[in-house]
Structure 1
Amino acid sequence: MDPDPHSDISAVSALEEPARRRLYDYVRAHHDPISRDEAAEALGMARPTAAFHLDKLADEGLLTVEFARRSGRSGPGAGRPSKLYRRSDRQVVVQLPERSYELAGQLLAQAIDDSERTGEPPRTILGRRARDLGRAVGTEAGPSDADLLATLERCGYEPRDEGRDIVLANCPFHTLAKAHTDMVCGMNLELIEGLIDGTGCAGRAARLAPADGYCCVRIETTPAAPDR
């Protein structure tokens, strides 16, 4: 696995596009490599559209590319080899709601590794990595409250619009937070602050506000923000 979390973030973002995800799932379901024509016909897409998204998935390392002549002919007159795609061996965190604890484990492990190498406190590194992750995911969304809510949902939260504020009815890291409250809540805060920063949602700020039955983070409307 690539130790750089930003490459995983880019791959996750690539799979957020519905057509691209359908193509990835189609190729993944087949043992033999798939051509552009096969994928386009199977999914009812235009060939150029399928080709574009397949190449994007290959660029992200989610698919591997090979060339072969499907006719079995060779030599002059056999035509150009077809570009074929198959699922790569790369493993990524492809869906934050389902893989939240794996995500937290990766961030924690990377923070410890970086700390041993640099001497910087692990919590400082953990917070920075969580914020960077949130920011990268957030940049794929728009700047409205609706975009922010949708992004939070994709990340495993259950956001509720409560007047001028947004509360989170769950914590994706609940079990881990019970055992390591300060560390995990701090990571969670940095992650959500990064999401807000990445979306560019003006007039929103996150703060720690633990309450029974809710995530420890509350997203407030800043004083300078207009009424929503």
Structure 2
Amino acid sequence: MSSCPGVSAVAALDEPTRRRLYEHVVRQTAPVSRDEAAAALGLARKTAAFHLDRLAEESLLDVVYERRSGRTGPGAGRPAKLYRRSGREVSVSLPERNYELPGRLLAQALEESEATGEPVRDVLHRRAHAWGAGLADGPGTGVFALLEKCGFEPRHDGEAVVLGNCPFHALAREHTQTVCGMNLHLLRGVLEGLDDDGYEARLAPSPGHCCVRLEPKAPSSDG
């Protein structure tokens, strides 16, 4: 969920020559070689190559290899390195927002509900829980670090953890019950995926915070 890669990509376009090269490549109907880009913008080939490769490193351009001579087999020469627009979409939001995830989960829930007859909200909560459980990066991942990575801006409030940012803010304001319920089950899934039984996720809306709060789990009374 983190948009840090998007920030890096946007920063790469802040360099004027690099931005001109990017705009030139994406306007073309066919992949562009280093020589073609350099000639079109009046640049040295080495300069064009450097900036084109930087754009490719940021996944703003894709690299393909083609033989422009039309010949094949021995003696046909090496394929040319060409650049074209990447299929990647880049967006940056401060504070961090992620509206693609609830859109995908809601669409999946609707389709599954229509196919099985299970209530949409039940499917949404189950899918959100499963998605959250799959977020764990591996053994030793802490819940605080993972929530930071996902853009929730966690903060300690005594022994509890409050979330300073809701990545689904605009949707949650307009569709509070649906989105906050999804978020609650997502974060319960996160705790399960991390095997963290020290906290429990609870709905606790408050001004300036996400609707979900992580409270220390009460000791078991068994035994």
Equivalenced residue count is 188
Equivalence for 1:74 = 71
- Name the SS for the 1:191 alignment partner: helix
Q: What percentage of aligned pairs have identical amino acids?
A: 48
Trace 1:1-228 onto structure 2 (pairs within 5 A): 30=22, 31=25, 32=31, 42-43=53-54, 66-69=64-67, 72=69, 74-75=71-72, 76-81=74-79, 86-89=84-87, 98-136=96-134, 138-140=135-137, 143-145=140-142, 148-201=143-196, 203-223=198-218
Deviations along 1:44-91, one digit per CA (max 9) or x if unpaired, are xxxxxx9xx89xx8xxxx986643137x48343234435766444465
Judging changes above 3 Å, is the alpha-carbon distance between structure 1 residues 99 and 87 closer, same or farther for their aligned structure 2 residues? farther
- Structure with higher Rg: it is 2
Aligned AA for 1:113? E
- CA RMSD for the aligned pairs? 4.3
Judging changes above 3 Å, is the alpha-carbon distance between structure 1 residues 65 and 168 closer, same or farther for their aligned structure 2 residues? same
* Matches of 1:219 and 1:184, distance apart in 2: 17
Q: TM-score, normalised by structure 1?
A: 0.59
Structure 1: 4+ residue segments shifted above 6 A: 25-29, 62-65, 92-97
* Matches of 2:130 and 2:61, distance apart in 1: 25
Aligned AA for 2:145? A
* Matches of 2:155 and 2:97, distance apart in 1: 22
* Matches of 2:137 and 2:147, distance apart in 1: 12
Measured after TM superposition, the shift of residue 122 of structure 1 is 0.4
Judging changes above 3 Å, is the alpha-carbon distance between structure 1 residues 65 and 42 closer, same or farther for their aligned structure 2 residues? closer
Q: TM-score, normalised by structure 2?
A: 0.60
Instruction: Specify every segment of 5 or more residues in structure 1 that has no aligned partner in the other structure, as ranges.
Output: 1-11, 44-49
Judging changes above 3 Å, is the alpha-carbon distance between structure 1 residues 115 and 96 closer, same or farther for their aligned structure 2 residues? farther
CA contact (8 A) 2:133 2:190 kept: yes
* Matches of 2:120 and 2:164, distance apart in 1: 28
- Name the SS for the 1:113 alignment partner: helix
* Matches of 1:169 and 1:194, distance apart in 2: 19
Deviations along 1:16-39, one digit per CA (max 9) or x if unpaired, are 7x6xx76xx78997424689xx57
